Amino acid sequence: MLSVRDRRDRPPEEGVVAELQGFAVDKAFFTSHKGILLETELDFLRCVSAIIIFLVVSFAAVTSRDGAAIAAFVFGIILVSVFAYDAFKIYRTEMAPGAIQGDQQ
């Protein structure tokens, strides 16, 4: 009968190693055009989702009309403007650079 120690000391089977290789990070993909585009789209999606979340939380907080709630609303609106500016810069520099270059010519 095999003990736990015997199973741990043995090298893994070929099937297990082949299955685990699917979880490795593929650096070649992230440096390719599709990988860069995926990273840009995820960054833009992060900005848009943060804008939506902060707007909802800010308007929910201001309904109590407490002093701290009003301060939270103002802080939330400032954060929304920062994330909106970030989303705008991401869109102009990485998602639509061809449209900007066409306007300048």
Q: What was the pLDDT predicted at 82?
A: 94
pLDDT of residue 21: 59
> Mean pLDDT of residues grouped by 10 in the chain (105 residues)?
54 55 67 80 90 92 88 93 91 73 54
Structure tokens at 96: 């639509």
Domain ranges of the chain: 35-95
Listed in sequence order, the residues at least 6 apart from 35 whose beta carbon sits closer than 8 Å to its beta carbon are: 29
The Cα–Cα gap between 8 and 92 comes to 53
